[in-house]
Structure 1
Amino acid sequence: MTSPVDVAQEFCAANGHTFIGPVGAGAFKETFHIVLATGGPQALKVFQPGFSPERTSRELSAMQRCSHPNIANLTSIAGFYHDGIQFLLSVEEFLPGGTLTTRLQRGSFTRTEALGIGNQLVNAVAHIASHDLVHRDIKPDNILFRQDGVTPVIVDFGLVRDLVRTSLTHTWFMRGPGTPYFASPEQLRNEKAMIDWRSDQFSLGVVMTIGLFGIHPYQEEEALPAQTVERVAERAPQSNRFLKCAKEVGMPFLIRMTAPWPVERFRLPENLQVVWEEASR
């Protein structure tokens, strides 16, 4: 059986690139570190053949439309045959600074760190929204850092929603795409008509709350992750502990970002950008 690593190694050999090794794997693609024949380090993604060509097309199209310092840059797309099977490959910039997940294993953000990283990510989400796109999977694993270790970059548009095209998610699904622990109530309930950039706003608010306080905004004392997800889906109130932490650190806008209903969150990306910039000053 052909494996993605075989495809990646053969692609590199055929084009004079250097294969370094695996970086990570998802359900439908694997990522490898390579060095181009021209000398530049890159991330090579090998997509599983036959997986939802429409969704793969939207992922790559979304990345091509975005151009922002805090969003991964797509270098090229190629079709490559291996053992008579055609694979879709993409070459993207290589981000050596590790994931936000790894960064948080070393400890929580200070307020200054959170404001600096959050401000950049808010601007990235605003850029995504300007193209009528919703990432739908903003989480620590999908936020990587550049070499400097302080510049965050949003990656993996595999679940992107293009608001000007027909949704690929069936209406009868009980739960929409996304990682449940970071997903908004409208994603968890597959309320497709409510999903827009404010869903990404919610997820980013969850990420920054965890980064600052080590808790989910809806997490009650000693609650299991599944119980927290259910509270979000039910649109239960945010926990008192979270409300207290957000106010004490002088970042009450986190409460609004993670409000249960989209209409309660910041209406426009520029509204959210203003409060982060003001807090950063």
Structure 2
Amino acid sequence: MFTEHTETVVTGVSLSNGRYSIGEQLGSGGSANVYRARDELLSRPVAVKLFRDEAATANDRLRQEREIRLLGELRHPGLVELYDSGSVVHRGVEHRFLVMEYIPGATLTDKLQAGPMLPRDAAALGAQVADALSFIHTRSIVHRDIKPDNMLFSDIAAFGHANLVKLSDFGIAHFVGGSRLTNTEAISGTASYLSPEQALGDTVGTETDIYSLGLVLLEAVTGRREFDGGLVEAAIARLHRDPVIPPELPAAWHPLLRSMTARKPEDRPAAHEVAASLREIWSESRVRRVRRVRARLGLVVDQGVDPRIALLLAAATAAAGLAIGVAIGIFAF
């Protein structure tokens, strides 16, 4: 347990009377460090977010409590789950901590270091994030910090996806119509993904998350940030021009990205509409893949056949052809 005599936060310490053993640091944000840890009671890995309170203001503490309350109310496959919370004393100062689901995979930022994603993979990613946003938006919650760092790829395969994507970090989320707490440090750190209304310092609604997700998707398929640079530079750029959508992107992407990154909030679609559009793009890309395989193998499959069945038929046909060829070769020999 931390005590007044503990000089730094180090690995090997424990929280909640030894239940959570803290390991290596996974990341660090404006107000907290995140550590890999182990829940000794349930024998499972967890992530612990430990808030740094060296110079915490009253608003900082209020934001911490609000994040804990928000996460405690939210349960969705597309959100990192909160398991527990508590407090620990370090050098005479009380620190709040969160115990969360541990996601062993990479962030979208990590994925993009290898280059841009295929449009169909970006559509699968975006549909999952939009579903999570739809869930929180119906509860009048705005995330306000949609960016690649906050999108985690889990090792769980479900709902037709090889990896579930989880949305994390509700540190600056707020309720629509609720009191606004200024946090310039958190905002300046994510200048590339701010909506125009955020850049202007206006009141934001759920539409701001849609704009930010549009910029993330654009970055995912191009491999570059549309509005790079510092807060002022990035803010001025988005107030004077719309994002450039590459002409080589499949046609269905153009109206979607244009609407998501419309400068006026009221011109943007709702999260559930974005999810439906992206899922349609993803599905159509799978159908096109089946048609290409079918064409190569000379298959004729009805339009209404499920793409997965068509792929299985294609694989079976190819295997059968190979077996026949081997048999003919054996008998001929």
TM-score where L is the length of structure 2: 0.73
* Cα distance in structure 2, aligned partners of 1:259 and 1:79: 43
Q: Is the contact made by 1:132 and 1:162 (CA closer than 8 Å) also made in structure 2? A: yes
Distance 1:216 1:264 in 2: 22
Q: Return the offset for 1:145.
A: 1.4
Q: What is the aligned counterpart of 1:168 among 157, 177, 181? A: 181
Q: Could you list the per-position Cα deviations for residues 111-138 of structure 1 after superposition, in whole angstroms to 9, with x for gaps in the alignment? A: 2211111110110111110111111111
Rounded Cα–Cα distance in structure 2 between residues aligned with 1:158 and 1:2 = 26
Contact 1:136/1:177, CA 8 A, preserved across alignment:
no
Structure 2 residues not aligned, in runs of 5+: 157-161, 284-333
Q: Deviations over 1:218-254 (max 9, x none)?
A: x5xxxx634444211x242333xx25244x4531201
Distance 1:18 1:91 in 2: 11
- Of 14, 30, 44, 2:33 maps to 30
Q: Does structure 1 retain, via aligned residues, the 8 Å contact 2:128–2:165?
A: yes
* Aligned residue number for residue 90 of structure 1: 98
SS in 1 for 2:13: helix
Whether 1:225 aligns to 2:235 is no
Whether the 8 Å CA contact 2:120–2:281 is kept in 1: the answer is: no
**Residues 115 and 280 in structure 1, CA contact (< 8 A), matched pair in contact too:** yes
TM score, norm. by length of structure 1: 0.85
Number of positions where the alignment pairs a residue of Structure 1 with one of Structure 2: 265
Task: Give the superposition deviation at 1:12.
Answer: 4.2
Q: State yes or no: 1:158 paired with 2:171.
A: yes
**Whole-Å Cα distance in 1 between the matches of residues 77 and 8 of structure 2?**
29
Matches for 1:191-270 after TM superposition, within 5 Å? 191-192=202-203, 195-217=204-226, 225-226=229-230, 227-232=233-238, 234-239=239-244, 242=245, 244-246=247-249, 248-252=250-254, 253-266=256-269, 268-270=270-272
Query: Are the structure 2 counterparts of residues 245 and 58 from structure 1 closer, same or farther at C-alpha, using a change threshold of 3 Å?
Result: farther
Residue in 1 that maps onto 2:192 = 181
Change (3 A) 1:139 1:29: same
1:272 Cα deviation after fit: 2.2
SS at match of 2:276: helix
Amino acid at match of 2:275: Q
Provide closer, same or farther for how the CA distance between residues 164 and 235 of structure 1 changes in structure 2, counting only shifts above 3 A.
same
Q: Between Structure 1 and Structure 2, whose CA radius of gyration is higher?
A: 2
1:53 aligns to what?
Answer: 61
TM superposition shift of 1:87: 1.1
Identity %: 25
Name the Cα RMSD after superposition: 2.5
Structure 1 unaligned residues grouped into runs of 5+: none
Q: 3-state DSSP class of the match of 2:247? A: helix
